[in-house]
Structure 1
Amino acid sequence: MRKLTFSEQSHIFGGYDAEECRRIQAIGSTYDEMQKNGYDVSDDAWETWCDDYEKYCL
């Protein structure tokens, strides 16, 4: 078995997409700021964010 390159490893979870990853990170930052300011962010919203992060950023 050969060793995977970093690029190949990044596609294991559905692929790396720089544009979508930036969008997902911005959403995470918004959710964090909302919580710091006393707004509620649902567990479902965070779960969706985690799924999208894994899909586009890993």
Structure 2
Amino acid sequence: MDFIELDGVEKVFDVRRKTGRLRREKQQVRAVDGISFRVPRGEMVGYIGPNGAGKSTT
């Protein structure tokens, strides 16, 4: 029996970036793309990665 199970988790943010002095462009940033994993009951897990990798979002 799995204690934690993720299957195909995704998260996309809409952000606005400056393209000129007064112009902004809307873009989508994919923070998490299709993460799947299982953690069985009683297992200990560390979730590590570089800054901006989507750890907190997941």
**TM-score, normalization by structure 2:** 0.33
Larger radius of gyration: 2
Please state which structure has a larger fraction of its residues in strand.
2
**TM-score, normalization by structure 1:** 0.33
Q: RCO higher in 1 or 2 (8 Å CA, sep ≥ 6)?
A: 1
